[in-house]
Amino acid sequence: MDRGSLAPNAVARWASETPDQVFLEHVDGRTLTYAEVDDRLDRGAAALVAAGLAPGAHVASFVSDPIDGALVWLAVARAGMVSVPVNTAHVGRMLEHVLRVSRAQAIVVSTDLTSRVDEVFGALPDLQVVLAPDASARPSGERHLVAPHETAMLLFTSGTTGPSKAVVVPWAAARGYWGWVPADTVGRGEALFVPMPMFHNAGLGALQQVAWRGGRFIHQGRFSAMAFWDDVRRTGATAAALVGPMTGVLWAAPRRADDADNPLQRMILGPMIPEMEAFEARFGVRVATCYGMTEVPAVIATGWEHGPWATCGRLLDGWPGAEVRIVDELDFEVPTGEVGELIVRTSEPWTLNAGYYGVPEATADAWRNGWFHTGDAFRQDDDGWFYFVDRMKDTIRRRGENISSFEVEAFVLDFPGVVGCAAYGVPDAFGGDEVMVAVEGDVDAAELGAHLAERMPKYMTPRYIDVVDELPRNATTLRLQKFVLRDRGVTATTWDRERA
């Protein structure tokens, strides 16, 4: 892998070749050229060294502004140190957990977040240095060029099935987060519009891609469906990236006569929605999607010819030495069409995660038999398309039948008035699960129950339906937090088919 493709090194290249080209831009009008960013990285790296930190030190980034977040991530790398991006929603015990598990020796923190650090500082013996994002010093000595095998960051999982773990992400893997996208997604001088935070692999992967290609990275701040298209038009972005339900939110917005009158040509998103082709026609864009996770850069993806809406894509031809299998609980491959766990490996060094920091038993379990176990249930069709079925731990087992929560949700979403839903298992009296759904929208639970009973296999039909004001989601990707619903279980407001 060419070192020059890695973001901190690429910035230095473009600062030399196209110094006046804008690299970082916020929708509020702030801009920084490649030359300006390169200078700030040198000064930020010098500030870290001046604070007494040595190469390899773990430096947390707790920064609310996305432009500052990008600069800190790159400056830490320029200093030869390891970044620990921290979710800006963290507070108290969760913030302490991330800083303690990562053994952060320093933290760069925004003024608006310093009080949160003050609250946990005394419980963190490894944390010695606190810096502001704009800390700078006069550069001295040779700058560090990152290499593919070096650790780019410790990036925390969402922790939906247990305490969040720190994934060791080499620079080669960091490039792989967006290494799958079609070659014409963003080119030299072209603009990519991003609404994802800079402590998430989607936002950081997009930044890496733009730096590699010499493009312009435009950040919206926090995702706003109301402002999205106006911001795109004002900034002239030709490509954009979306995650989670953002696509569905844009699709559900009232139609406008000028929907297609925008500069966007290409959108990277996931997952696709059933109306994907109509979405492309309405907004005048092409879309591509992939399957990836914090631990696994995308090796399954589509091109602009993205295939069926429910697919994640096919195995990438261009990924060096990538292999995937769908296996049973003993790691034996299942026949085509059957559901099993997706496992991954590559022959190219450092292109997948290097384990979970400080948790060797979890690393050994995930990497058993020489393959990384994703924990995701998949199936593959005869044409080579891969389909995400569920998280393995989200699969519902009722009366001996394995039920995909994804498939249950697809039936529920067909009902008029449903805005969002989550299907999950709650304990029955026999050591198995009953099917329960939480529904967001203007819906009558009994009417929905009757609708589903007529259309779903009996073993899949939800027993419990709970209409809620709002589904619990994380603040990063708006991903559903089913563990919150499972913990809550059946409530006083839950409709019960058997009682009805």
Judge if 435 and 339 occupy the same domain.
no
In angstroms, rounded to a whole number, what is the distance separating the alpha carbons of residues 177 and 60?
20
Among candidate residues 256, 287, 318, the one where a domain is terminated: 287
Residues 294 and 279 in one domain: no
| Residue 367 shares a structural domain with residue 472 | no
Which parts of 109-157 fold into alpha helices (H)?
A: 114-120
Segment (H or E) for 426: strand 418-427
pLDDT of residue 473: 85
For 253, half-sphere exposure in the C-beta direction (CA atoms, 13 angstrom radius) is 19
Both 424 and 459 in one domain: the answer is: yes
Token duo for residue 379: 């199936």
Given 226, 260, 287, which residue is the final one in a domain?
287
Give the side-chain half-sphere CA count within 13 A for 158.
Answer: 18
| Strand ranges in 1-105 using DSSP code E only, listed in sequence order | 22-26, 31-33, 58-62, 82-85
Range of the domain at 242: 3-287
SS3 267: strand
Calpha distance 32→58 (Å, rounded): 26
Query: Residue 141, Cβ neighbours under 10 Å: how many?
Result: 8
Task: State phi, psi for 218 to the nearest 5 degrees.
Answer: -110, 125
Contact call for residues 366 and 356 (beta carbons, < 8 A):
yes
What CATH number should be reported for the domain holding residue 400?
A: 3.30.300.30
- Which tokens belong to 120? 């946990």
Q: Which residues of the chain have pLDDT under 70?
A: 158-163, 318, 320, 399-402, 430-431, 475-477
pTM: 0.83
Do 125 and 246 lie in one domain? The reply is yes
Residues 32 and 108 in one domain: yes
Packing angle, helices 66-78 and 34-50, rounded to 10: 60
d(CA 110, CA 12): 26
pLDDT on residue 160: 46
Does 405 share its domain with 381? no
Strand partners, 85: 61
Euclidean distance between the first and final Cα of the chain, in Å? 62
57, 106 Cβ separation under 8 angstroms: yes
Q: What is the DSSP string of 149-174?
A: TSEEEEEE---TTSS--EEEEEHHHH
CA distance 321 to 95: 38
Q: How far is CA 486 from the centre of its chain?
A: 23
CA distance 5 to 339: 37
282 lies in the same domain as 296: no
Domain boundary among 287, 304, 338: 287
Asked whether residue 200 falls in the same domain as residue 251, the answer is yes
C-alpha to C-alpha distance for 334 and 476, rounded to whole angstroms: 34
Q: What is each CA distance from 47 to 51, 53, 69, 142, 297, in whole angstroms? A: 6, 9, 16, 14, 31
Residue 354 and residue 428 share a domain: no
Residue pLDDT, tens place only, 467-491: 999 999 876 667 788 878 988 999 9
Domain shared by 415 and 402, yes or no: yes
Instruction: Check if the beta carbon of residue 216 is closer than 8 Å to that of residue 234.
Output: no
Beta strands in 243-338 (DSSP E): 266-268, 286-288, 290-291, 300-301, 311-315, 322-327
CATH number of the domain to which 245 belongs: 3.40.50.12780
Domain count, the chain: 3
Pairing of strands 151-156, 166-170: antiparallel
Find out whether the peptide bond into 139 is cis, omega within 30 degrees of 0: no
Query: CA–CA distance from 154 to each of 32, 311, 331, 427 (Å)?
Result: 27, 30, 28, 36
Whether residues 231 and 299 fall in one domain: no
Task: Write down the pLDDT at residue 91.
Answer: 85
CATH of the domain at 360: 2.30.38.10
Token pair of 188 as six digits:
């030299």
Exposed, middle or buried, 347 (CB in 10 Å: 0-12/13-18/19+)? exposed
